[in-house]
Amino acid sequence: MRQNDDTATTTAAIDIKKRAVSRYLQALIMIGVFFFLPAGTWRFWQAWLLIAILFIPMAFVGRYLLRHDPELLRRRLQFREKRSTQKLFIKITSVYYFAVLLLPGFDHRYGWSNVPAWVIFLSDLLILVGYGLFFLVMRENSFAARTVEIMPDQKVIQTGPYAVVRHPMYVAASLMWILTPLALGSWWGFVLMVPFPLSLVFRILDEEKTLVKDLPDYQAYMLKVKYRLLPGVW
């Protein structure tokens, strides 16, 4: 019986690893297409640097989760949202986000922007900081899935970044989203991306309805940690 359990665990781990590697390669190819196809050239050093900033840490984080928290990695690989309101949000924002991601490539091709190198490097550094916060959130909260759902054994996390704001993963994502066009050398993309995190207001408000309803002690946590994204603001 124990041998069967071990075999099942090993099989599940192999399946998660295969899915993670597949998603990683798909994301790498997709981002490459979004960056280089509009640019019309491989000579786009800003894009190469950003890809390294994003995907090298991603590989290490994936390996860490596979060893220390494979269940979280499995949840992160789940993209199917069950709530209709969240499905609508994801569809609308995804179209907007990927449309804006195409702009820096055209900007590079036609020379619409002249972003100083120090701004590009600083943006890359802050994106890396955002990804570091993203990792801290996942290490602190084993239930940090992509979809809005409550697991049977889930509990409220009140430590680490969650002691400062209620949705630190969205803080990390917002930082990375806003600065991506600048890291690619596009002022126009940056201007269009700045309002994008405001769309998270809808997602967070809807998500908190589920958390208050189905997650014990979450309402008490809301009274303790008053701010959702920005301390002193919201």
Instruction: Give the model confidence (pLDDT) of 166-196 as tens digits.
Output: 999 999 989 999 999 999 999 999 999 988 7
Both structure tokens of 152: 């049977």
pLDDT at 212: 87
Instruction: Give the model confidence (pLDDT) of 50-60 as tens digits.
Output: 999 999 999 99
> Dmax over Cα atoms in the chain, in whole Å?
66
Question: What's the whole-model pTM score?
Answer: 0.86
Closest CA to 189 of 27, 34, 10: 34
**Residue 33 reports pLDDT greater than 50:** yes
Q: Classify residue 185 by its DSSP letter.
A: T
CATH fold of the domain at 2-224: Four Helix Bundle (Hemerythrin (Met), subunit A) (1.20.120)
Rounded to whole angstroms, how far apart are CA atoms 106 and 96? 16
Q: Classify residue 141 by its DSSP letter.
A: -
Instruction: Give the model confidence (pLDDT) of 200-211 as tens digits.
Output: 888 888 888 888
Helix (H/G/I), strand (E/B), else coil: 193: helix
Backbone phi, psi, residue 219, to 5°: -65, -40
Rounded to whole angstroms, how far apart are CA atoms 127 and 135? 12
Ranking 39-43, 56-60, 70-74, 110-114 by mean pLDDT, the lowest is: 70-74
